[in-house]
Each structure stands twice: as structure tokens, then as C-alpha cells.
Structure 1
């Protein structure tokens, strides 16, 4: 896709992600993503606090609740990580409007919001975004709720929230076993507490609220260190 080609990465350098339930990997669920479309004249756009100020004012919407850029920043941090390039990362996104979608491991995330927004509009309106290079490959695809149906049975699940119990060393929850996936649920919004029924274990990585992309950086670094990804 033209919008994604600005990332000059060789797809051949990415290892293929094996989705067998026994394969070791970090599964990240981005919860509460603020992704929704709005019709401007005859065109659908991705609602955001910068371009749709008048719409938000007329509909008495708080601009802080319209931050799709946080999802972009989070995906960039995850997909730029060595953990992803080693084939040890899988990502699902669950929007505030209850749309669940998967991000293909080979997807190159656009570097700019201008490139990201049209892809999300296409995804939300059509249910998928296909690769122009390979029309059989779904870069983004809406899948059926609940998310638990798409997770390995019996795997460990943790949630990260500022309201959780302190976790001084993130490496403590990284599975040491050779073949053991783990699920991490985290929020992708500016304000508010994480709500999820995927797990009852909530951990906090800091005594201060952290930006979602900072959490992702800490996550991928910790898992990469324990799993020997350099």
C-alpha cells in the first residue's frame, strides 16, 4: 500500500509468526481504542480532536475522548520492536465502540496519522484492509467478539493499569518456559481506568500514569530481554 511504503523495511527480515497455541509469543490486546468514523460532506473520516473541533462542540463531545493518534503511536512502538521482527508478537485492537480487529504480523504501520487514518476508515467501513502487493493478505481484519475466542486456551493473562498493584520488575511476568504464550491487556486512551473481563490480575508499572507507547516500549524490552531477542 502506498501509504505504508514510507517504512523502508524488508519484509523478508520478519520471521513468520506461528499461531499454534503452544508457541511462545507476546499477545497484546489494545483495549478501548478511540477509533470511529464521521461523515464530513460526502466523505468518511477518522474522528479526531484536531480535525473535527466543530463536530465535537456541536455534539458535546470531549476532545480527550477522540484520540486515534494514541492507537497509531502504540502500534508503531510495538511493530518497530525487535520482538515483533523476531515473530514473537501478536496484536489485537478492541475499540471503544466494541469493534475487534487483528493486525497482521507482516503489516507495515504508517508513520503518520495522515497515512493511518484512511486505513482505519476503510477497516471500519469494509471490515478489512488488503495488501495491494498480495490481495489475499489481510493487513487489518475485523473479527468476531469476544476476544477470548481468539486467545490460546489456558495461557496466562495480565492487565496493565495505573490502578493495579505495583510490579517493580516487569520481567517477573515473562514466561520462562520455551513454548508458552502470554496475553497483556492495556488501554489506548488519554484518561480513564482500564476495564476488561479477560483477567482479574491488574499490575501497575509505575507510581505515575504512563503513556500507552511508553508501556509498549517497556513491555517489548522486558520480553525481549528474557527471551534473548537482541
Structure 2
């Protein structure tokens, strides 16, 4: 039997020990690494380029009026008088989640405190391409008959808690201005709503008792240059006759019971398709 061949040192070089590697690395300066900046957060708020001026009565547009919106404040605590260090009265926006006990003391149904419906509708409308294209106007008619105009460029808070604080400020000061300019982003305006609609405007309400139509077909049937104002109920329940005294037409857009936010989105999407807004 032949004796084993000696190992060829050229084929299997001796590896340095971990202690040797550590000592050699200590003498070398490590290359500095530069971390990449975090990616920009997506812009989730509406930023339209050219809003329709308030005095423009000719440009074709979609107008959404959120009717019977339950935006109401109540005094949560009293202030401590006047002078330095005094605290003002504290007001909250009534909502069915936090103020069930308050509503019961008032003898009212909790369905009368659903400002979250208005919040959902505003987020849907302001995020839409038609708003960013400058073809959308938004109004709110509260259950207390307060008329509010919402600027298409406003950044509505995405959390309800911050939205509630904003609405309390609006209902007491009657306007919210931009922090960077004197532009009124949300303001209380004079009734009636018809004074703020363009003359060539078809006023439409939604009703289960009407014939179901495809929204895109309905908007496609508008006259040339004719705008459309749709009145959407922003309440949990109630009659849909809030705009019967001014309506030109009444339609149904689904065989199912839709939320106010979905109804708003159907009109936005239909107008975008017909008016080639992408």
C-alpha cells in the first residue's frame, strides 16, 4: 500500500486566525457609509392647480352639497373667568362614539351626532382627480342650516380627532384661514345655497323612489357647458326631501343602500370619465 502523499501547501493555504484578523482590522480605518434619505411620503391631500374663482359662473363643474350634516358643538367645561391665566370655555364636536351620555341627557338619538360621515365625504371629494383638476366645488349644509364653503385646496385632517377640533374652531370663528396666506380655506357663508350656484346648473337629488340611472350616462346627457349640483345626505338616517324645493331632477344611482361617501365617489368618477379627467 502506497504511503499517503503529503498535502500541497500551495493548494490549501493556512487561514489566519480570528485573533489575527481582529488585530489587522484595528489598524485600518473603516470606510464611512452615507445613509440614504428616507423616501418622501406620498401626498395624500388634494392639491389642485387652478381652482374655479368664486366669481366664475360659466365654467362647467361638478358641485357637491353635503346636506343635513351633523356638525354641532357643546360646552364640555366652563372657563375660569377673565384675566391672566384664565381658561376659556371648552367645546367639543358632538359625536356618537364619545358623547352617548350627553346625547341621552339631551333626549336625542345618537344618529344626530355623526360628523364622521361629513369627514369621510370630504376626504373622498378632496382626494379625487376632478378636484385636483379644478372642476369640483364643495358645500356643506348642516342640520342647523349653517352653510359652509370648502376650498378645493384645503388640507382636511385625515384623523377624525383633528378634524373635530377644526370643525369646532370653524363653527365658533366662522372661518379657517391658511397659515401661509390670507386665503379662507373653510368659511361660513350666507344662505341660500342657490345664490352660490352658477345659473346654468342642473340641481339633482338622490332618491330610492326614482328610476335607477347610470351616473356616467346622466352626466353625459348634460347640455353643453351645463354644470351639475348633486345634493347628498350626510346623515345616518332621515328623509331625502332636504332639497326638494330647489331640485330640477331626482334620480337613483343604485339598487343598494349606499353610504354618502360612495355616492360622492360615483359622481366624481363619472364626471372624470365624461370630461376626460385622468
Mark yes or no: TM-score above 0.5. yes
What is the match of residue 132 of structure 1? Answer: 179
Structure 1 residues 12 and 143 mapped into 2: Cα distance closer, same or farther (>3 Å)? closer
CA contact (8 A) 2:48 2:152 kept: no
CA contact (8 A) 2:58 2:200 kept: no
Question: For 1:104-119, what aligned pairs fall within 5 Å after superposition?
Answer: 104-119=151-166
What is the match of residue 268 of structure 2? Answer: 220
Q: Moved runs in structure 1, 4+ residues, more than 6 A?
A: none
What is the match of residue 43 of structure 2? Answer: 8
In structure 2, what is the Cα distance between the partners aligned to 1:12 and 1:91?
15
Question: For 1:16-95, what aligned pairs fall within 5 Å after superposition?
Answer: 16-19=51-54, 20-42=56-78, 43-95=90-142
Taking structure 1 as the reference length, what is the TM-score of the superposition? 0.90
Unaligned runs of 5+ in 1: 1-5
CA displacement at 1:7 relative to structure 2? 8.0
Structure 1 residues 217 and 11 mapped into 2: Cα distance closer, same or farther (>3 Å)? closer
CA contact (8 A) 1:28 1:90 kept: yes
Residue 169 in structure 1 maps to residue 214 in structure 2: yes
Residues matched between the structures, number: 223
Q: Provide Cα deviations, 1:132-175, integer angstroms capped at 9, x if missing partner.
A: 121x1111100001111111124211112333x12331112215
CA displacement at 1:179 relative to structure 2? 3.0
In structure 1, what is the Cα distance between the partners aligned to 2:174 and 2:77?
22
In structure 1, what is the Cα distance between the partners aligned to 2:46 and 2:124?
17
**Which of the pair has the greater relative contact order for Cα pairs under 8 Å at 6+ separation?**
1
Q: Provide Cα deviations, 1:35-89, integer angstroms capped at 9, x if missing partner.
A: 0001101311100111111111111111111100000000111111101000000
Alignment RMSD, CA only?
Answer: 1.9
Residue 181 in structure 1 maps to residue 217 in structure 2: no
Structure 1 residues 7 and 127 mapped into 2: Cα distance closer, same or farther (>3 Å)? farther
What is the match of residue 259 of structure 2? Answer: 211
Unaligned runs of 5+ in 2: 1-40, 79-89
Taking structure 2 as the reference length, what is the TM-score of the superposition? 0.75
CA displacement at 1:201 relative to structure 2? 1.9
Greater shift in the superposed pair: 96-105 or 205-214: 205-214
The counterpart of 1:202, out of the listed 244, 250, 254, is 250
Q: Determine helix, strand or coil for the equivalent of 1:115.
A: helix
Question: For 1:144-163, what aligned pairs fall within 5 Å after superposition?
Answer: 144-163=190-209
CA contact (8 A) 1:123 1:141 kept: yes
